[in-house]
Structure 1
């Protein structure tokens, strides 16, 4: 008879998966940040990632929002009346941009995250005191985190939010590795659900911690996009008995988010190089370089928006788009109110 524990996860196997996931996440995040920091068009890359992140957040909530619709709505170029799902996805996009201008300390204030979703309430209580993992190693911090999460016994959103803020403040501080603390913060949010299933609010705190501790310089990680990439590839969020296995999944999602950023940057860079070679012999007074700059800066363009950007008529803008070749793709499939984007961008 085959022993039953042969197929059960052991502590050593869970620990090995955790450390492998941590090493991969550290390498991928560093690689993505370096590539975006060296890219002169990183603003356009980040705008595309933000739109895709908004679509991924809507997908996690059970809604389908297309990239084209969200990008057009963000630029106030809607061709149809936006529905409730599109407006909700755009609100998350605006929250992401607003949070990117705030510090970690500002986001860890009890009223900050609650104010993001317009919850009008009395001032929530101060965060509960949590012991900082000052001298403990990673293993000891993870074992202590299990007890700290289970110690929170409340059904009140304000109390759960205050407890989560105290835990996140401790885990996102040195000397605990930042990605480990970020994984702990996301896992505890899932366990405590202080503001419902709004995991994107915890993502804002994680990205603020990455910026404040200078772990990244030019990258805003699309964490929801990384979770969707894992889920659609068959690596679903585990309901594992060990915290290390659940943290390893979050670390794999960090690596997947960083790979999404690298793929987006590589595709946009390739499309730019193809267009620049095609325009190598353009006239000095040509508007084609300005049109390419507008395509690099914005996720999508219409003939009217491109005409305003380069100072042409809409017909002249359409001729310019045709001159740029196959790297510019028409994505709307309509004969009117057409939309273009750089291929792969």
Structure 2
């Protein structure tokens, strides 16, 4: 058995893969695979509409929000957000708690006036800023955060602190639908699908109608959120198979009990791995401060680079893949997205304890 801890593309629910396999050659009696079906067909339009409805239902959102299926990953959104939402003379504020927030801020700086409201770079992105010490501008075009940093393993709490009255925009690529959260507090949420939602190839954007309406009108048509909303994400050819898979994953989440069940499952997995770190007498050193620890990406170091290489080699031999830390920081990273089973987390925790006994 392979235990998949890859950070993205990541594990998918086995039931979803099995269903996709069963439907692959002949989708619902059409005689065609979903891979070769027109995005203008009634079958695909039904998938597209159902996926939007499923997602809004899971988030508890109504008709004042739209779900857009786009391409280009979160990295494309780093540019599209200021292009659409940051007017001339306006300012966008950013809170940076890791590498992806840093990239989003750097991209926005190229496109308009920005303000770094807070950054935890000084402590190596181990913590979250003190929200009470922040002075957000209520007139800002928007305030951007990254709810979970995959590289450093730092995550905002589901119940966010007060962050002012400017429209709140969030990169949720690595913890979207991993737990209940007050979705109505966000004006725009975006997520690359390849972690909790489906395969690589589609980016989900959940955006409030008023932001769509106020977006700039002088952009190329393909770069406007209004274009995707008006055309139900069908202005150009969408990533049909990826959206189909997202719809299956959304159905799976609903069948498991929704976001409450995902939160319980994810907390249980993370607790097993963090306990192996905390009980190791310092053999494993977690990167994130305990109060900022991610449920999705558990990051830690061993006493030496040599031991980290040995850990990765022995883990892979035992069927655990994808545990190497990001190339920019090294170390170990266990990604525990929704589809990763509690059994996989237990297997990793047991391996960590045994490895520490042998080499600690």
Q: TM-score range by the shorter chain?
A: under 0.3
Higher strand share: 2
Higher helix share: 1
